[in-house]
């Protein structure tokens, strides 16, 4: 799994606006002067997976092989410092909704991409906004990916 997470995190380097990319270990829970990220950020997490057994290949030393379907969650975080109300200037509104441009850029590089030789393509299955009271915009994009012989 570490190889998969490393490949995804490295792929996010193509989204040049991102200032911080890492595995999600709860960095956004410590917002304030101790927050260990730079904005905007992308955090990668293996959210879960399901596996099924394949027949044993007696010609190899692999033992029992499995197929897996994994759920990968990419959390995009950005600080929203601008007003986006109907009376705000257009430039201010555009800046306030920048997080959605980042979500789109991340999706464009991950959708259909195969990070490993034994994996299928990443397929977006969901997006969710997380309501916060600290000025951070948090969006979670969910992808599924199949693994063969894992």
**Which helix (H) or strand (E) element contains residue 89?**
none
Distance of CA 82 to the CA centre of its chain: 25
* CATH number where 110 lies: 3.30.2000.10
**Proportion of the chain above pLDDT 90, given as a percent:** 66
138-150 pLDDT, tens digit per residue, is 999 999 999 988 7
CA distances from 94 to 40, 60, 99, 135 (A): 15, 56, 10, 16
pLDDT bucket at 51, cuts 50 / 70 / 90 = very high
The mean pLDDT value for 72-80 works out to 95
Cβ atoms of 105 and 16 within 8 Å: the answer is no
State the pTM of this model.
Answer: 0.88
Residue of higher predicted confidence among 52 and 54: 52
Residue 58 is predicted with a pLDDT of 62
Pairing of strands 123-130, 20-23: unpaired
User: What are the φ/ψ torsions at residue 66 (nearest 5 degrees)?
Assistant: -135, 160
For 18, the domain range is: 2-148
Q: Indicate the average pLDDT of the chain.
A: 90
Domain count, the chain: 1
Confidence (pLDDT) at 63: 63
For residue 84, how far is the Cα from the chain centroid? 25
């Amino acid at each position: 799994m570490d190889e998969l997470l490393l490949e995804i995190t490295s792929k996010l380097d193509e989204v040049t606006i991102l200032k911080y990319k890492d595995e999600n270990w709860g960095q956004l829970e410590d917002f304030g002067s101790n927050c260990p990220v730079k904005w905007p950020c992308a955090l990668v997490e293996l959210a879960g997976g399901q596996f099924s057994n394949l027949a044993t290949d007696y010609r190899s030393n692999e033992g029992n092989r499995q197929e897996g379907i994994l759920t990968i969650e990419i959390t995009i975080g950005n600080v929203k410092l601008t007003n986006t109300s109907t009376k705000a200037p257009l430039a201010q509104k555009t800046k306030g909704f920048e997080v959605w441009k980042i979500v789109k850029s991340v999706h464009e590089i991950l959708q259909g991409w195969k990070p490993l030789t034994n994996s299928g393509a990443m397929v977006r299955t969901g997006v969710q906004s997380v309501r916060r009271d600290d000025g951070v915009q948090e969006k979670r994009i969910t992808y599924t990916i199949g693994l063969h012989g894992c």
